[in-house]
Chain A
Amino acid sequence: MATKSLAQPKRKKTVWDTIIAQRELIIMSVPLLLYKILFSYVPVIGWTMAFQNYKPAVRSIWKQEWVGLANFAKLFTGVNGERFIKDVRNTLGQSFLTLLVGYLGSISLALLLNEVKNIKFKRIVQNITYMPHFLSWIIVAGLVSTMLAVPTSGGIINDVLIRLGIIKESIMFLSYPEYFWWIVAFSHLWKEMGWNSIIYLAAMTSIDPTLYEAAIIDGANRYQKMWHITLPGIKPTIMVLLIMNIGQLLEAGFEIQYFLGNGLVVERSEIIDIFVLKYGIQMGNYSLATAAGIFKSVVSIILISVANFIAGRIGEEKLI
């Protein structure tokens, strides 16, 4: 066998050779590729609806009436436009705040847990903090709405604040627009903090222990070790997650705003998805909904490219 292959003249490796050499891997990835094409790229044909006056009774999307950019004009001008632009602002604002609070929360939790030497205690804390991740958002929204209610309706937060003497009368948290973004951000923090910290904890385990030993010899204290070794050690993880999350900035969640939003806070609570639901899907105005969806996708692609570019510039891991 060996002599036979040696005897053959060595020719240049072509693409086909690579393909044949990796045929098993390629065959295995084909179903996934088809899956992606079918569920992520084929639906893009539906974008044509944004340029039509789409009527579901006419089943084929090629027989609809074409209206050019009229739906985009409807989306960005007049009373609808004012509302939509406000909603874009709300979506971005809520996302940024959620991202910021979430990052600070889960990274500090991971840092602190990493320092805990009592394994039992560490496990318990970890379990308690990541449990809420498994609740569905609609349940969390219900919990939040009850917690923020007046004490007679089960509002724990008001109850505690009153008992501590911090406030005299209960505050109707859900009726002040200025609180709403924070409520969204902290609900996310409560739900996802423990779960998100797991990935940082995992990253921390891969830090070379000799670095810590060296730091101890240099006389570093705990906080200095955290700051100079642990944090830089997980920086690549932080950056990758950041880039991924920036692509999701226009996905500010849905359930919590839908469930907790009301007329009093609508100027701060309504996000793009709720607008789409209300003025698009509920009214059967699918074209307007699609136009808003396209806008969202385009902005997301721009955001993620920019974030990726910046990350590359400052010498960090690039995601794509």
Chain B
Amino acid sequence: MKKIVSLLLVMLLVLTATACQPAPKQGTQGTGIQTVSETGESKQTTGLPVLSPDDPTTFSVWITTNFSAPAADNKLTKLLKEKLGVTINYEIITPDTADQKIGVMLAGGEYPDLIGTTDLNYRFIMGGALIPLDDYLTEDKANYLFEHVRPYWNRLATDAGDGVKRIYILPNYNRYYGEITGGTHYGASGFWIQKHVLQELGYPSLDNMTLERYFQMIEEYMKKYPTIDGQPTIGFEILCAPGREWGLTNPPQYLAGAPNNGGVIVDENNVATIFADKDIAKRYYKFLNQMNARGLVDRESFTQTLDQYLAKLATGRVLGMYDQRWSFGNAHDSLVSQGRDERTWVSTMPVYEGKTPYYADRDVMNINQGFGVSVSCKYPDKAVAFLNTMLSEEWQKILSWGIEGEDYHVDANGRFYRTPEQREQQKDLVWRSKNKLEALMDQLPKHQGTFSDGNAFSPGDQPEEFFETLSDYDKNFLNAYGKKTWRDFLNQPPENPVYYPCWNIYLDEDAQTVSQQLTDLALQYLPKAILADPSEFDAIWDEYVSAIRKVNVKVYEDAINAGIQERIRNWGGGR
């Protein structure tokens, strides 16, 4: 007995001793200034460590994205390992659960090496999770990254609470190089309508669209086809899943001819006010209430999750919804991969009378999205070197187009193109997980626009390639409307106001609480109002408005207005 006990004790002691031992010190890595690497190789031009297979590195990478992690035998994963010695451990979080995951990470204070996320990076910056990158962002260090942020320095630099503005994150989308081309505007909002509806109705003009006419088209089609593939046809779907509540709350501003500023409309004096309790909102929801009474609104809209919403869209029986193009991309791709192009959607832009549609804006650079290097990263210089290398044209082409000869070809004029087989395999989701790094690419800084050789950043943006990849159905559809691209279905965006858009203004804790309270009220009252008997609508609306009155809206509006003024003063100008 005693022997056993003492044995146990010894084991316990050994265990605690090993657990308490400090982790072995990592060998100090070459700093950015060091110009000769440890192996005595030649001078580095970037002033950052050279990534090579001789010195393998593993990065833990945290990504908020809708894309899934690449397959284990992914060919680009292998290429990264062969050429750069880089292995990536993915942790992928879908946007609807990112909020709380970030909260937990910040509370814990332990982070993966690279953090790439959407819209919530301010929380990482304020929470002290990211290191400032200013020291690396110079011509002789991270040269590509420097060029990426140089013109927009003032916009990107953020004060993390210590009074100094520094750059912490590298924007992932809409930092354009050269000429902007492209057939699809992924940021586009719209009241989407299924192509087959328009085809059935003889391709009616979509100009001067109104809510009345939009729903009339849906109703007419529903009468003709009460079921699609044996399942009941769904007229109008409303997106209001966690994280995408804007699907419910944003439309009134577009109907009133204003661009997407989140929860506020900004007047000509640059003063923002919320519109949730105004007449433009009441009119929209009242209209939906009437449409619901006529059976055009899916009553399940308000109880489903994002996945259920997307799954429903992917069945092809949803005729219309308000959404943004990127947000339902999965459902769109799924329909295309089934060859059911006629069940995908084009955008229409209904407005109230006398208003001009402002659904499309100039592509806004995502200043609060993308990768940052965490304070837990042991080799920040290597991490920066990795991001920098990825932004080189060579790697951008690999990540976006693929490998020359395998995934695309180059013609005599130096133009990139794909063969029909290569185009076909791009639609296959399984093939993509084996041959592309979509999740990583989603957050990496991108060379959008055109490369120095004149080719577009991605096949979808290469004009001849865009048209060639269209299915016959889509070609006919575009011809019927006399348009060349999906972008043509949107308004010509005017120059964005300097402060635009308000939805990415940083809010302090109090303003954030109010914003959350407003969203919660909308989620609580609007579905009720829409589903109610039309005679009860006004009563529920009044309840909603008086609930909004109780919330300290001024705190929120003041925070937004302060942000607008700050941007008007400081934005514009780079280094």
Contacts and interface: CB of A to CB of B under 8 A. Distances in A.
Interface in B476-514: 509, 512-513
A149 B9 CA distance: 57
A42 to B, nearest CB: 15
A64 to B, nearest CB: 13
A278 B97 CA distance: 11
B151 to A, nearest CB: 29
A283 B509 contact: yes
Contact of B527 (A80, A259, A263, A267): A263
A85 B150 CA distance: 51
Contacts of B302: 175, 262-264
A312 interface: no
A56 B512 contact: no
In this complex, the interface size class of chain A, counting residues with CB under 8 Å from chain B, is 35 or more
B566 to A, nearest CB: 21
A267 B513 CA distance: 18
B551 A79 contact: yes
Contact of A267 (B102, B127, B524): B524
A195 interface: no
A55 B127 CA distance: 7
Contact of B550 (A79, A153, A262, A280): A79
Nearest to A265: B303
B427 interface: no
Chain A: interface secondary structure?
Answer: helix
Contact of A57 (B127, B232, B523): B127
B103 A282 contact: yes
Interface string B158-171: 00110000000000
A201 interface: no
A295 to B, nearest CB: 18
A198 interface: no
Interface string B518-531: 00101111111001
Contact of A283 (B2, B231, B513): B513
A288 to B, nearest CB: 9
Interface string B89-110: 0000000000110111011010
Contact of A172 (B9, B161, B303): B303
B423 interface: no
A172 B509 contact: no
A281 B100 contact: yes
A311 interface: no
B240 A263 contact: yes
A59 B109 contact: yes
B1 interface: yes
Interface stretch (A24-32, A88-96, A224-232, A240-248): A24-32
Contacts, number: 106
A68 interface: no
A156 interface: no
B293 interface: no
Nearest to A53: B509
A303 interface: no
Nearest to A59: B109
B106 A172 contact: no
A57 B161 contact: yes
B489 to A, nearest CB: 31
A39 B105 CA distance: 19
B505 to A, nearest CB: 16
Nearest to B305: A259
Contacts of B100: 277, 281-282
A31 B160 CA distance: 43
Most chain B beta-carbon contacts within 10 A, residue among A31, A79, A83: A79
A266 B523 contact: yes
A282 B128 contact: no
A12 B102 CA distance: 61
Contacts of A286: 103, 107
Contact of A284 (B126, B300, B525): B126
B513 A56 contact: no
Nearest to A263: B523
A244 B522 CA distance: 39
Given A266-B524, A277-B100, A282-B99, A175 B109 contact: no
B300 A263 contact: no
A25 to B, nearest CB: 10
A56 B551 contact: no
Nearest to B241: A262
Interface of B: 1-2, 5, 8-9, 12, 99-100, 102-104, 106-107, 109, 123, 126-129, 160-161, 231-232, 240, 299-300, 302-303, 305, 308, 509, 512-513, 516-517, 520, 522-528, 531, 550-552
Interface of A: 24, 27-28, 31, 55-59, 79-80, 83, 145, 149-150, 152-153, 172, 174-175, 259, 262-264, 266-267, 277-286
8 contacts: A28-B8, A56-B128, A145-B303, A145-B308, A263-B523, A264-B303, A280-B103, A281-B103
